[in-house]
Amino acid sequence: MKLEILNPGVATLLILGACSGKTTDGSSTAADAATVAATPAGAAASAENAPLYPDWAKVVAPPYPNVTVGILVNTGLYQFQSTDDPATVGDWYKSHVSASWEKDATSDSRSTVVNGVQIEISKISGPAGDAASAKTMIALTRR
């Protein structure tokens, strides 16, 4: 029997869905429960906004809960954008990642390296936009 894929995009979505960790009855797995438990009270789990969040990043910190988009750029770089300001994002990461943080006074960016993963939090440049505009970029880079 020969398997022919007529629409590779649909096949990719099906494969990603099958690897998502969800059960077929819609219930959550233990990994989902751990992600929810790691998020702040009242914040929705950000797994839906952080697709393909890599295991090497999970070891360091759960996905930031208030993201507009999260993307695996390549096997060693994951980026988020958030409508929160850099100080709010920085405070959240400081409460979830015990490390020595460096702050750049001129750019207001923050960074640290934990277990071989660099976390960088920086302001997105450009016009301020409205409340729904992304204000902060979070980059996790495997070193």
pLDDT in tens, 16-73: 333 434 344 444 333 333 333 333 333 344 567 788 999 999 999 999 999 999 999 9
Q: How far is residue 109 from each of residues 15, 17, 44, 62, 90, measured CA to CA in Å?
A: 37, 35, 26, 20, 9
Grouping H, G, I as helix, E, B as strand and the rest as coil, residue 70 is: strand
pLDDT at residue 86, rounded to an integer? 93
- If you count DSSP H runs as helices and E runs as strands, how many of each does the chain have, helices first? 4, 6
Here the tokens at position 143 are 């070193």
pLDDT at residue 47, rounded to an integer? 62
Asked if residues 35 and 20 have their Cβ atoms less than 8 Å apart, the reply is no
pLDDT in tens, 64-100: 999 999 999 999 999 999 999 999 999 999 999 999 9
Model confidence, pTM: 0.66
